[in-house]
């Protein structure tokens, strides 16, 4: 479903590859990402720890908001494309969290692409990019306590347990676990 945000997306600098990894392109949004993004956000298994499934219109609004943040601030949860075939795998990147002053690294991948290391590979690239900026000294990642898959990615990235918290989003409370890594910890892991 392509709607009112498509024109806004088409008029923006879209599809720019920002980072590459051995298997992935990490890039800004294109309007042709919207159907796959809507499908991703409509999958109950994908959205299990992300609140609730989204409609096509809600997905378009979210993609547009993310692209706007990227254009304004240079960060956001951006598309991850597989280099081998151009498949839209999901999103990954760095953004702001409403709960903490730190920037948050996160990911959301289509269920069929889970277990292939794409989240770790793309998040590691974004982590390196983020810590190259002198104004970022720490990154966090937040998920629901039972989300073992995301917690495993956090650990593979070198993040360590920071704390648990009771958080609220859209009027719903949830128990969250927060992992963090400082720029110095990340640099130490690179040697």
Say yes or no to pLDDT of 81 above 80. yes
Query: What's the CATH number for 5-190?
Result: 3.40.630.30
CB 176 within 8 A of CB 144: yes
| Cβ-based neighbours of 92, under 8 Å, separated by 6 or more | 26, 77, 78, 80, 105, 106, 107, 108, 109, 119, 122, 123, 126
| Cβ-based neighbours of 155, under 8 Å, separated by 6 or more | 179
Highest mean pLDDT among 39-43, 74-78, 95-99: 39-43
CB 74 within 8 A of CB 82: no
- The pLDDT > 70 percentage for the chain reads 93
Buried b (16+ CB within 10 A) or exposed e, 137-164: ebbbbbbbeebeebbebbeebebeebee
pLDDT digits (tens, 9 = 90+) for 137-147: 999 999 999 99
Per-residue pLDDT, 20: 96
pLDDT digits (tens, 9 = 90+) for 162-187: 999 999 887 888 899 999 999 999 99
Say yes or no to pLDDT of 78 above 90. yes
Q: Structural domain boundaries of the chain?
A: 5-190
Q: Tell me the mean pLDDT in the region 74-93.
A: 95
Per-residue pLDDT, 14: 67
pLDDT digits (tens, 9 = 90+) for 56-65: 999 999 999 9
* pTM, full prediction: 0.90
Lowest average pLDDT, out of 5-14, 50-59, 122-131, goes to 5-14
Kind plus residue range of the DSSP H or E element containing 191: none
126: confidence class by pLDDT, cuts 50, 70, 90: very high
Per-residue pLDDT, 10: 46
């Amino acid at each position: 479903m392509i709607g009112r945000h498509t024109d806004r997306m088409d008029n923006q600098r879209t599809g720019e590859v920002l980072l590459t990894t051995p298997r992935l392109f990490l890039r800004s949004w294109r309007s042709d990402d919207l159907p796959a993004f809507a499908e991703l956000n409509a999958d109950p298994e994908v959205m299990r720890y992300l609140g609730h499934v989204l409609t096509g219109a809600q997905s378009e609004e979210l993609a547009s908001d993310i692209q706007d943040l990227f254009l304004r601030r240079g960060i956001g949860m951006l598309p991850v494309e597989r280099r081998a075939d151009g498949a839209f795998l999901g999103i990954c990147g760095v953004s702001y969290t409403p709960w903490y002053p730190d920037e948050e690294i996160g990911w959301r991948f289509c269920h069929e692409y889970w277990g292939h290391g794409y989240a770790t590979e793309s998040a590691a690239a974004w982590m390196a990019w983020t810590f190259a900026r002198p104004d970022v000294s720490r990154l966090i990642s937040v998920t629901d306590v039972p989300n073992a898959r995301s917690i495993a990615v956090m650990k593979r990235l070198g993040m360590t347990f920071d704390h648990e918290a009771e958080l609220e989003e859209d009027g719903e409370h949830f128990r969250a676990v927060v992992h963090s890594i400082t720029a110095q910890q990340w640099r130490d892991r690179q040697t």
